[in-house]
Amino acid sequence: MDLGRTVIRSPVDGVIARRQVQLGQRVQPSIPLLSVVPVGDMHVDANFKEVQLKMVRAGQKVELVSDLYGHKVAFHGVVDGFSGGTGAAFALIPAQNATGNWIKVVQRLPVRIRLNPDELAAHPLRVGLSMDATVDLRSSSQQLASTFAATDGNS
């Protein structure tokens, strides 16, 4: 019975991304032991330069190519939204401009891209991989509502 109580089951299907506990180690209640990344519900945070975002809107189609699979596998997704600030705005230690604050430095804004779950099942991804993202600026959210309703059950 004691052995049965030592099994911990994850509430989501995924892979272990960060394990902070070793075999035989004693653990305390409420201490994180590991992180589980859900493999069926992954997204990409693409860091676009602010000058590239003039025409980008939520709901537009995106084609992504992972360095892991190369150009033989293309992932398709939809722009889900934008971060509330640039990477520099939320950094623990803000970048210092050695030449003075009067020189404009182009910032990068994270753009969340929701991936097609069927493509993820066929070609699994891992956290931290590099990808090239191309946004179709001609697509709109009305065109995409029916496209992803069939693949992920959401409208």
Task: Parse the chain into domains and list their residue ranges.
Answer: 42-152
Strands 74-82 and 61-66: antiparallel
Note the pLDDT of residue 102.
66
Question: Structure pTM?
Answer: 0.68
Q: How far apart are CA 21 and CA 36, in angstroms?
A: 13
Ordered DSSP codes for 60-121: -EEEEEETTTGGG-EEEEEEEEE-SS-TTTT-SSPPP-TT-TTS----EEEEEEEEPHHHHH
Bridge partners, residue 24, by sequence: none
Q: Letter for the amino acid at 50? A: E
Bridge partners, residue 134, by sequence: 63
Block means of pLDDT (10 residues each) for the chain, 155 residues, are 79 83 87 82 86 88 93 93 73 63 76 91 86 87 42 36
Note the pLDDT of residue 79.
93
Neighbour count for residue 75 (Cβ, 10 Å)? 22
Quickly name the fold that domain 42-152 has. Answer: Elongation Factor Tu (Ef-tu); domain 3 (2.40.30)
| Greatest pairwise CA separation for the chain in angstroms | 68
Note the pLDDT of residue 93.
67
